[in-house]
Structure 1
Amino acid sequence: MHTQNVHLKNYSAGEEIFNSVSHGTGAGLSAAAIPLLVVHAVRSAPAGLTPLYVVSFAVFGVSLFILYTVSTLYHALTSYEAKRVFRIFDHSSIYLLIAGSYTPFCLAALHGALGWTLAGIIWGLSIAGIVLYCVLGNKLRAVSTATYIVLGWIIVFAFRPLSHAVPHISLVYMIAGGIAYTAGCPFYALKKIKWMHSVFHLFMLAGSTLHFLSVYTMIP
């Protein structure tokens, strides 16, 4: 992990307080979401698929918790060197969340060869993205943002089978969450303008909430 390739944006104290509190709230909600998802899977998953639902729902919840916890710490820290390290963790956790968000749809809803293949591709590309960012840091900034968007929408290639595998409301929440995440990207790109990164945080929270609802309603 080469922190010398990581350069930080100097946010104001007010921005960092907002960023820490907003994603700290996300971390708290994510922690509460994990048992809700797991219990729902245990009680309501289709017969024979309960283990897949429980594990994949838990992976999704944990990936949410990791992202929001790491982001909160990154924005709350005041040590420059510590922030450089947590910036790497912060960006890496986005790849983790993308893969974690796909997991219930791939392993539980689709399962079978298609689901496992798609999960393998998403997790493989996400792990590759984490490794590359750890090595190259800001040199991959533009590529990383584009990669987040592309990875997030790979599901379109399996849209037809997925639309038959999950309830309509779950599909609507999933698409809406993807739109919310994508709509936040321009604000992330404009983070040199004051408060734009904070707006990006709100879109992240909206996208995560919608995807939680999508996963929860996956089981009728």
Structure 2
Amino acid sequence: MVVQPIKKRLSCCDFTRLKNPKAGKGQAYIPTDYEHIANIVTHGFKTLKYIFHIGDRAVIYLFIASSYTPWLTLREFNGIGDEVLSIVWTMAVVGILYQYIFHEKYKILELLLYLIIGVCPAIVVCLQRQAAGMFELALGGATYILGVVFFKMDGRMPFAHAIWHCFVAGGALWHYYAICTHLLGHDQDELAMHL
């Protein structure tokens, strides 16, 4: 049996065509075509991470606006429900645009947007004549607002951002429960009584 030299056996795994030549002093790095493709792919994933981070913040506005929408559309507010609903969704759009245009630039504005969209509709909803569901709605709003404390603790407390996510999900769950038991369930019971 003839043994080939090690150099010959490794030639099938020659990676020199995949590597760029070493940049000379004062010269720019010039990637090979393969490296260029790899750079595009990895930079794409960095870009995706940034987009997902912004989307993560933007979706919170949708959570909050969506959790107030059933109350503002299914209950009577002496004719101001539609106006408040327009304000809530306008604020949600402003919050989302803020995230995509000024992400992380004006921290106090971001905080104010979260608080305004979370608190203002709650004040109007609490003025309705029917009290059913108000406790759960208030708990959801309080949960959203308490979560802001952890949102502002990013970088100062371990897992602060993850805890904030839990508060946002908790607030949405309280509002979902209130909607199912006091808005949707109530209407179904009334409908069954009339049949």
Q: Same fold (TM over 0.5)?
A: yes
Deviation, structure 1 residue 142? 2.7
2:123 and 2:169 mapped to 1: Cα distance? 26
User: Are 2:135 and 1:172 aligned?
Assistant: yes
User: Are 2:85 and 1:122 aligned?
Assistant: no
Matched residue, 2:49: 83
Show CA shifts across 1:122-171 (max 9, x none): 11121122223211111133311221112111024424532x1351xx11
Q: 2:144 touches 2:171 (CA, 8 Å); kept in 1?
A: yes
Structural mapping, 1:129-168, within 5 Å: 129-162=95-128, 164-167=129-132
- Kindly, what percent of the aligned residue pairs are identical? 23
Equivalenced residues, count: 140
Judged with a 3 Å threshold, the aligned counterparts in structure 2 of structure 1 residues 136 and 160 are, in CA distance, closer, same or farther, namely: closer
Structure 1: where are the runs of 5+ without partners?
1-77
User: Are 2:147 and 1:184 aligned?
Assistant: yes
If the length of structure 1 is used for normalisation, what is the TM-score? 0.58
1:159 and 1:111 mapped to 2: Cα distance? 8
> Which structure has the bigger radius of gyration?
2
Q: 1:95 touches 1:126 (CA, 8 Å); kept in 2?
A: yes
1:174 and 1:190 mapped to 2: Cα distance? 25
If the length of structure 2 is used for normalisation, what is the TM-score? 0.65
Q: 1:191 touches 1:197 (CA, 8 Å); kept in 2?
A: yes
Deviation, structure 1 residue 198? 2.1
Matched residue, 2:171: 207
Looking at secondary structure, tell me which structure has more helix per residue.
1
Structure 2: where are the runs of 5+ without partners?
1-43, 187-195
- What letter corresponds to residue 200 of structure 1 in structure 2? W
Which structure has more RCO (C-alpha within 8 Å, separation ≥ 6)?
A: 1
Runs of 4+ aligned residues of structure 1 deviating over 4 Å after TM superposition are none
Q: 1:133 touches 1:140 (CA, 8 Å); kept in 2?
A: no
